[in-house]
Protein backbone atom coordinates (compact mmCIF):
# COMPACT_ATOMS: atom_id res chain seq x y z
CA UNK A 1 0.00 0.00 0.00
CA UNK A 2 1.51 3.28 -1.12
CA UNK A 3 0.79 6.36 0.95
CA UNK A 4 -0.01 9.66 -0.71
CA UNK A 5 2.16 12.69 -0.05
CA UNK A 6 -0.78 14.30 1.76
CA UNK A 7 -1.09 11.28 4.06
CA UNK A 8 2.64 11.32 4.82
CA UNK A 9 2.58 15.04 5.64
CA UNK A 10 -0.50 14.56 7.83
CA UNK A 11 1.01 11.60 9.70
CA UNK A 12 4.23 13.55 10.26
CA UNK A 13 2.31 16.56 11.59
CA UNK A 14 0.22 14.34 13.88
CA UNK A 15 3.32 12.61 15.28
CA UNK A 16 5.20 15.85 15.87
CA UNK A 17 2.14 17.34 17.58
CA UNK A 18 1.70 14.23 19.74
CA UNK A 19 5.38 14.23 20.73
CA UNK A 20 5.17 17.91 21.66
CA UNK A 21 2.01 17.35 23.71
CA UNK A 22 3.82 14.59 25.61
CA UNK A 23 6.62 17.05 26.33
CA UNK A 24 4.11 19.68 27.49
CA UNK A 25 2.41 17.19 29.82
CA UNK A 26 5.78 16.13 31.25
CA UNK A 27 6.84 19.81 31.54
CA UNK A 28 9.94 18.99 29.50
CA UNK A 29 9.52 21.68 26.88
CA UNK A 30 10.24 25.35 26.46
CA UNK A 31 9.55 28.04 23.88
CA UNK A 32 13.04 27.32 22.55
CA UNK A 33 12.09 23.64 22.03
CA UNK A 34 9.14 24.44 19.78
CA UNK A 35 10.78 27.25 17.79
CA UNK A 36 13.95 25.19 17.32
CA UNK A 37 11.81 22.28 16.12
CA UNK A 38 10.13 24.57 13.57
CA UNK A 39 13.56 25.82 12.52
CA UNK A 40 14.78 22.26 12.01
CA UNK A 41 11.66 21.39 10.04
CA UNK A 42 12.40 24.16 7.56
CA UNK A 43 16.14 23.43 7.59
CA UNK A 44 15.58 19.76 6.72
CA UNK A 45 13.15 20.74 3.93
CA UNK A 46 15.76 23.13 2.56
CA UNK A 47 18.49 20.46 2.71
CA UNK A 48 16.26 18.03 0.80
CA UNK A 49 15.54 20.74 -1.77
CA UNK A 50 19.30 21.08 -2.21
CA UNK A 51 19.57 17.30 -2.66
CA UNK A 52 16.76 17.45 -5.23
CA UNK A 53 18.63 20.19 -7.06
CA UNK A 54 21.70 17.99 -7.17
CA UNK A 55 20.08 14.70 -8.17
CA UNK A 56 16.71 15.57 -9.73
CA UNK A 57 17.67 18.68 -11.63
CA UNK A 58 15.77 17.55 -14.72
CA UNK A 59 12.49 17.68 -12.75
CA UNK A 60 13.04 21.24 -11.55
CA UNK A 61 11.01 23.76 -13.50
CA UNK A 62 13.52 26.62 -13.24
CA UNK A 63 16.87 25.35 -11.85
CA UNK A 64 18.55 28.76 -11.62
CA UNK A 65 15.68 30.31 -9.68
CA UNK A 66 15.39 27.14 -7.56
CA UNK A 67 19.07 27.28 -6.57
CA UNK A 68 18.96 31.02 -5.84
CA UNK A 69 15.90 30.71 -3.61
CA UNK A 70 17.42 27.71 -1.87
CA UNK A 71 20.54 29.75 -1.07
CA UNK A 72 18.40 32.61 0.23
CA UNK A 73 16.50 30.22 2.51
CA UNK A 74 19.78 28.79 3.86
CA UNK A 75 21.03 32.30 4.61
CA UNK A 76 17.81 33.28 6.38
CA UNK A 77 17.83 30.02 8.35
CA UNK A 78 21.42 30.78 9.44
CA UNK A 79 20.36 34.18 10.76
CA UNK A 80 17.34 32.64 12.49
CA UNK A 81 19.51 29.91 14.04
CA UNK A 82 21.74 32.44 15.80
CA UNK A 83 18.75 34.50 16.89
CA UNK A 84 16.82 31.48 18.18
CA UNK A 85 19.74 29.96 20.10
CA UNK A 86 20.86 33.23 21.71
CA UNK A 87 17.46 34.76 22.44
CA UNK A 88 15.19 31.77 23.08
CA UNK A 89 17.84 29.28 24.14
CA UNK A 90 19.68 31.47 26.62
CA UNK A 91 18.43 35.01 27.25
CA UNK A 92 14.70 34.46 27.75
CA UNK A 93 15.24 31.74 30.36
CA UNK A 94 18.35 33.37 31.86
CA UNK A 95 17.16 33.25 35.48
CA UNK A 96 15.72 29.74 35.28
CA UNK A 97 18.56 27.25 35.15
CA UNK A 98 16.20 24.28 34.84
CA UNK A 99 14.77 25.73 31.61
CA UNK A 100 18.24 26.54 30.27
CA UNK A 101 19.16 22.92 31.02
CA UNK A 102 16.14 21.77 28.99
CA UNK A 103 17.19 24.09 26.17
CA UNK A 104 20.73 22.72 26.14
CA UNK A 105 19.44 19.14 26.13
CA UNK A 106 17.46 20.00 22.99
CA UNK A 107 20.34 21.92 21.40
CA UNK A 108 22.76 19.04 22.02
CA UNK A 109 20.26 16.37 20.85
CA UNK A 110 19.88 14.81 24.30
CA UNK A 111 16.09 15.14 24.39
CA UNK A 112 14.67 11.86 23.04
CA UNK A 113 11.22 13.20 22.17
CA UNK A 114 12.77 16.10 20.25
CA UNK A 115 15.02 13.62 18.44
CA UNK A 116 12.00 11.45 17.55
CA UNK A 117 10.31 14.54 16.13
CA UNK A 118 13.39 15.21 14.00
CA UNK A 119 13.41 11.60 12.79
CA UNK A 120 9.75 12.00 11.84
CA UNK A 121 10.61 15.10 9.80
CA UNK A 122 13.54 13.34 8.11
CA UNK A 123 11.40 10.27 7.32
CA UNK A 124 8.73 12.54 5.80
CA UNK A 125 11.27 14.32 3.62
CA UNK A 126 12.89 11.06 2.50
CA UNK A 127 9.49 9.73 1.48
CA UNK A 128 8.58 12.94 -0.34
CA UNK A 129 11.97 13.01 -2.07
CA UNK A 130 11.58 9.43 -3.30
CA UNK A 131 8.00 9.85 -4.47
CA UNK A 132 7.65 10.56 -8.15
CA UNK A 133 6.99 14.21 -8.88
CA UNK A 134 6.60 15.57 -12.39
CA UNK A 135 7.77 19.09 -11.57
CA UNK A 136 9.69 20.42 -8.60
CA UNK A 137 8.91 24.07 -7.96
CA UNK A 138 11.13 26.57 -6.19
CA UNK A 139 10.13 27.55 -2.66
CA UNK A 140 10.55 31.23 -2.00
CA UNK A 141 12.02 32.78 1.10
CA UNK A 142 8.40 33.43 2.10
CA UNK A 143 7.55 29.71 2.23
CA UNK A 144 5.10 28.44 4.84
CA UNK A 145 7.95 27.16 7.02
CA UNK A 146 9.77 30.50 7.04
CA UNK A 147 6.52 32.37 7.71
CA UNK A 148 5.73 30.01 10.61
CA UNK A 149 9.23 30.54 11.97
CA UNK A 150 9.03 34.32 11.68
CA UNK A 151 5.58 34.57 13.28
CA UNK A 152 6.68 32.13 15.99
CA UNK A 153 9.64 34.31 16.93
CA UNK A 154 7.54 37.47 17.18
CA UNK A 155 4.66 35.68 18.90
CA UNK A 156 7.09 33.90 21.23
CA UNK A 157 8.57 37.16 22.42
CA UNK A 158 5.14 38.70 22.91
CA UNK A 159 3.69 35.75 24.81
CA UNK A 160 6.83 35.34 26.90
CA UNK A 161 6.77 39.03 27.82
CA UNK A 162 3.08 38.99 28.73
CA UNK A 163 3.22 35.74 30.67
CA UNK A 164 6.31 36.59 32.71
CA UNK A 165 6.05 40.34 33.22
CA UNK A 166 2.43 41.41 33.21
CA UNK A 167 0.54 38.43 34.52
CA UNK A 168 2.41 37.13 37.55
CA UNK A 169 -0.35 34.58 38.26
CA UNK A 170 0.61 32.84 35.01
CA UNK A 171 4.25 32.19 35.98
CA UNK A 172 3.67 28.52 36.84
CA UNK A 173 2.02 27.89 33.48
CA UNK A 174 3.85 30.42 31.31
CA UNK A 175 5.81 27.74 29.47
CA UNK A 176 2.71 25.72 28.58
CA UNK A 177 0.71 28.83 27.69
CA UNK A 178 3.57 30.04 25.51
CA UNK A 179 3.80 26.80 23.52
CA UNK A 180 0.15 26.12 22.69
CA UNK A 181 -0.20 29.03 20.19
CA UNK A 182 2.85 27.75 18.30
CA UNK A 183 1.34 24.31 17.93
CA UNK A 184 -1.92 25.80 16.69
CA UNK A 185 -0.04 28.04 14.26
CA UNK A 186 2.00 25.11 12.91
CA UNK A 187 -1.05 22.87 12.59
CA UNK A 188 -3.00 25.61 10.80
CA UNK A 189 -0.27 26.39 8.28
CA UNK A 190 0.60 22.74 7.66
CA UNK A 191 -3.01 21.70 7.14
CA UNK A 192 -3.45 24.61 4.73
CA UNK A 193 -0.37 23.54 2.76
CA UNK A 194 -1.51 19.90 2.65
CA UNK A 195 -4.77 20.83 0.91
Dihedral pair phi/psi, residue 136, rounded to 5°: -105, 120
Contact 115, 30 (CB under 8 A): no
Characterize 34-53 residue by residue with b for buried, 16 or more Cβ atoms within 10 angstroms of its Cβ, and e for exposed. Answer: bbbbbbbbbbbbbebbbebb
User: What are the tens digits of pLDDT across the range 122-145?
Assistant: 999 999 888 867 677 666 666 777
Q: How many C-alpha atoms does 161 have within 13 Å on its Cβ side?
A: 7
Cα–Cα distance between 160 and 87 in angstroms, integer? 12
Q: What is the pLDDT of residue 124?
A: 92
Cα–Cα distance between 13 and 7 in angstroms, integer? 10
| Count of the separate structural domains present in the chain | 1
User: What are the tens digits of pLDDT across the range 80-102?
Assistant: 999 889 988 888 778 778 888 99
DSSP 194: H
Domain holding 16, by residue range, is 5-194
Determine the 3-state secondary structure of 93 from DSSP. Answer: coil
Residue 163 has pLDDT above 70, yes or no: no
Cα–Cα distance between 86 and 98 in angstroms, integer? 17
Cα–Cα distance between 9 and 82 in angstroms, integer? 28
Residue 169 has pLDDT above 60, yes or no: no
Cα–Cα distance between 105 and 31 in angstroms, integer? 13
Contact 52, 136 (CB under 8 A): yes
Amino acid sequence: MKLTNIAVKSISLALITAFTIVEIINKETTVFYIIYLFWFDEFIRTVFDRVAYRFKKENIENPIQFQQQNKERFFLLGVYFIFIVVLFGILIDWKQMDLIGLNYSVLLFKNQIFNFSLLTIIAREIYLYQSKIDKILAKSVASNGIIILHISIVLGLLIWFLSTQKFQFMLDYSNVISIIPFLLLKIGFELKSVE
